Structure formats: structure tokens, C-alpha cells
Amino acid sequence: MNQHISDIFEQQELEDKTELEDHYINVIRREFKDADEILSQLHSKMSLQHTQTPLILKKTVVRIATEFGIRKHTAAVIPYYHSHDFFEMIYVYEGKCRQYINEDQDEVILQKGEACFITPGTIHAILSGEPEDIILKMILPANMFRKFWNDTFEKKDELMLKMERSDEFCLFPLSQNQNGLIRWLFTKLLEEFYSEDCYRYISIKNYLSLLFVTLMRSNVNFLENGLLCQVSRQISSHLQNAQLKDIAKNMGYSPRHLERLLREKAGCTFSDVLQKLRLEKAAELLTETNDTIERIAELTGYQTEAGFYKGFRSFFGTTPNQYRKSHSVVRSG
């Protein structure tokens, strides 16, 4: 990122801070008798508000936009639940981004190199970040985006169709193979948007096409090579006591975030993956050891032998004993 863009981000921080302070200070001084005391209390509460809980207003605020734009999410902005009539992409250039979606209890945390795509109508709130965070927000007006989307992609997969609908939230986790290119594309989009060049919007359109193609590819790579492998490795290392909250923490996600990723990218739940791995391990132990059924159930994390029998029969279509007889590679005795 060049110095020109860094200077613009610093100016945005200052402008948002000044605008926020001017707005509420003037209103309080005009409307309240003990303005100084109220302002003193508000400063501490708003500081806490910035890092903890988004404001919930009686009526959801709907933001509107008619022009394309990219800007930094500044620390001065108070987090509040809102939706918009445009499409929005959030990309973590540096640091991390914490937000809530549809007033869920759990945070969705995006790490450096990760992005999300938010369609019109989705309610969310981005929390204030740390000074070192650089969170980019790209605004794509609805009419502009839909025309661009249809011109760029004639044939669409399930994810592409989802990104056209209202009230959708799409995650693009870190892609080791594509992260450098995605970062470079965001850098070029920033440079073009804040330039005065007469050809900048032609360049922006082409960089956007490359960006979305890259994100679609990274989604396929993540599904085929990343998410399930990571989750499976984590579960296999803690097969007896694997829990969603622990696996999610080890991978840097909240439990709700990881569960959402599994549903969206792999079409399954954490419980599905856990049961599959436990039963496959049980089948391996049945054929390669002389351990009792009770012992195998214990080693694979089942609390009761009855629960193990039920799960095994449902998965393999036979009982553990019958499976052992027909597949065993060790002699009994």
C-alpha cells in the first residue's frame, strides 16, 4: 500500500472522528442542561461501546448508496446494527475484523487475508478495531453490481446464485494459494479508486472481475483442500473428547463461525464430520485389533456402548460384531 493511500486512510479516521464528535456534542449541548457532565459520562461509555457491544436501535438503520466506493472502516465509528440497499464486501488487509450478523450472540471474526460478502437486507454490525487494523469496505450499488455480475458470469454455481440474493452472508476464508493475488487486487482497486485518472473506472471493472474470479477459485480450493482437512486433522487428534468450541478455538474461529463455514463450504455439520471420523476409526479398530466393543466405543469417544451400536449400525448398515467377522485381519484369541 503506497503512502498516498495511507494518508487518505489517516484523513478518513480524522474526518469520522470529527464528524462523530461534532454531531453528538452539538445535540447534547443544545438539548441538555448538564451537558458537560453528560458528555463526560458518554465518553467513557462510548469508548467501552466501541470494543464490546453494538448499539441496537428500535428500528434498523438502512444505509443507501448509489456509487461504487472503497474506504477504511475507521476506529471512530460506533458499532451499530444496520442493513443496506447495496452489496458490500469486507476485506481484512491487516489485523482482524470482528462483527455480528443478524444480532447473533457469537462474533464472526475475519483474520488477515479473509473476506466476506454481504447482500442487501442482511443486518450486521462491525466492531471497532485496533489501531493496526486495516479493514476495507467495498460498496457495490445494487444495480451496478447485478449488471456487472451478469456480464461477468454467464453460468453460475450455487455460491454465485447465493451472492445475488437478499439477506445473505458469504464467507471467503484465508486461501494460502490465492491470498497474495487477492491482496494485490485490493491494493490496485484502492489505487485506481483514489486516482484522478480518466480511465480508472474501466480499470476498476476489470480488477473487480479478476477479484471475483479469484474468490470463486479460492472457494473451490478451500472446499476441496482446506476446511475439511483442517477440521478432520483437529478431530482425529482429539477423537475421544473433540468438541466444536475447542476445535474452533484452535483454528481461530468462533463455534458459530466454523459451523457456518462447514455448512456453506462442505454441506455438512461439525457433528457429521465428528461421527464419520469416530465410526471410521472404530471400524479400523474392529478389523485390526482384538479390543472389546466396549473398549473401542470408549476409544472413539462414545459415552455408552448402546450409543455406539446405534451409530455404527446407522452408518455401516451392520452391527460392530458382524463387521468384525466379515472384515477382520487379525485372529481372535
pLDDT at res. 94: 92
Strand pairing report for 108-111 and 115-118: unpaired
- Show the CA angle centred on residue 119, arms to residues 197 and 111, nearest 5°: 80
Domains of the chain, CATH where assigned: 3-222 (2.60.120.280), 270-327 (1.10.10.60)
- Show the CA angle centred on residue 41, arms to residues 56 and 54, nearest 5°: 20
For 315, the grid coordinates are 452408518
- 8 Å CB contact between 302 and 311: yes
Q: What are phi and psi of 134, to 5 degrees?
A: -125, 100
Q: d(Cα 98, Cα 288) in Å, to the nearest integer? A: 47
pLDDT at res. 248: 85
Provide the residue-wise pLDDT of the chain in tens; the chain has 333 residues.
Answer: 788 888 888 888 887 777 665 665 664 565 445 667 655 655 554 544 444 566 554 456 788 889 999 999 988 777 878 889 999 999 999 999 988 887 666 678 888 888 999 999 999 989 888 888 999 999 999 999 999 999 988 888 777 888 888 888 888 876 656 778 899 999 999 999 999 889 999 999 999 999 999 988 877 666 555 677 778 888 988 899 999 988 888 776 778 888 888 887 777 899 999 999 999 999 999 999 999 999 999 999 998 999 999 999 999 999 999 999 887 765 554
Contacts of residue 260, defined as CB under 8 A and 6 or more positions apart, other chains included, come to 108, 171
Residue type present at position 302: Y
pLDDT at res. 258: 85
For 69, the grid coordinates are 466506493
pLDDT in tens, 220-230: 666 555 677 77
Look at residues 196, 190, 188, 215 and name the one whose alpha carbon lies nearest to residue 72: 190
pLDDT at res. 19: 62
Q: What is the share, in percent, of the chain residues with pLDDT greater than 70? A: 81
pLDDT at res. 50: 46
3-state SS, residue 170: strand
Rounded to whole angstroms, what are the CA distances from 5 to 29, 110, 183, 321? 36, 22, 14, 67
Q: CA 228 from chain center: how many Å?
A: 16
